[in-house]
Amino acid sequence: MLPEKNKFVYICFLVGSALPVFCAPPDPVRPEPVHAATVVVRADRRTGRLVRTVMVNPKMTPPKQVGHGSDATPVTELVEQAARQYDLDPLLVHSVIQVESNYNPYAISRKGAEGLMQLIPSTARRFGAANSFSPRENIDAGVRYLKYLKNIFGDDRLALAAYNAGEAAVARYGWIPPYAETQQYVYNVGKKYGEARRRAAALPKPEPVAPPAPVVEEHPKLEQYRDEQGRIYLRTR
Which DSSP letter does residue 6 get?
Answer: H
Within-domain flag for 234 = no
- At 189, which CATH number? 1.10.530.10
Name 180's Cβ contacts closer than 8 Å, sequence gap at least 6: none
Residue 206: per-residue pLDDT: 78
| Residue 108 clears pLDDT 70, i.e. is over it | yes
The helix or strand, by DSSP H or E, that contains position 153, with its residue range, turns out to be helix 135-153
Q: Which residues, listed in sequence order, are joined to residue 56 by a DSSP beta bridge?
A: 37
Between the CA atoms of 94, 100, 106 and 109, what dihedral angle is there, to the nearest 10 degrees?
-170
Among 140, 141, 126, which Cα is nearest to 82's? 140
Rounded to whole angstroms, the Cα distance separating 149 from 160 reads: 8
Q: Which residues, listed in sequence order, are joined to residue 224 by a DSSP beta bridge?
A: 234
Rounded to whole angstroms, the Cα distance separating 178 from 149 reads: 19
Look up the pTM and report it. 0.60
pLDDT band at 66 (very low <50, low <70, confident <90, very high): very low
Within-domain flag for 36 = no
Tens-digit pLDDT profile for residues 165-193: 999 999 999 999 999 999 999 999 999 99
Asked whether 143 and 127 are in contact (CB, 8 A), the reply is no
Residue 44: per-residue pLDDT: 59
CB burial of 105-133 (b: ≥16 within 10 Å; e: otherwise) equals bbbbeeeebbbbbbbbeebbeebebebbb
Within-domain flag for 173 = yes
Average pLDDT over all residues of the chain: 78
Rounded to whole angstroms, the Cα distance separating 129 from 69 reads: 14
Residue scoring higher pLDDT (207 or 130): 130
Which residue in the list 4, 100, 195, 217 is annotated as catalytic?
A: 100
Phi, psi of 233 (to 5 degrees): -130, 155
Structurally, the chain folds into a number of domains equal to 1
Within-domain flag for 94 = yes
Within-domain flag for 4 = no
Is residue 100 part of the annotated active site? The answer reads yes
Q: 3-class secondary structure for 70-104? A: CCCCCHHHHHHHHHHHHCCCHHHHHHHHHHHCCCC
Among 160, 146, 159, 148, which Cα is nearest to 189's? 160
Reduced to 3 states (helix: H, G, I; strand: E, B; else coil), residue 54 is: strand
Rounded to whole angstroms, the Cα distance separating 226 from 235 reads: 11
pLDDT band at 117 (very low <50, low <70, confident <90, very high): very high
Within-domain flag for 190 = yes
Within-domain flag for 80 = yes
Rounded to whole angstroms, the Cα distance separating 81 from 75 reads: 10
Within-domain flag for 126 = yes
Residue 54: per-residue pLDDT: 46
The domain in which residue 192 lies consists of: 73-202
The helix or strand, by DSSP H or E, that contains position 209, with its residue range, turns out to be none
Signed CA dihedral, 96, 101, 104, 108: sign only:
negative
> Which stretch of 8-17, 144-153, 206-215 has the lowest confidence by average pLDDT?
8-17
pLDDT above 90 coverage of the chain, percent: 54
* Type of residue numbered 224: Q
- Region 85-89 average pLDDT: 97
Residue 212: per-residue pLDDT: 80
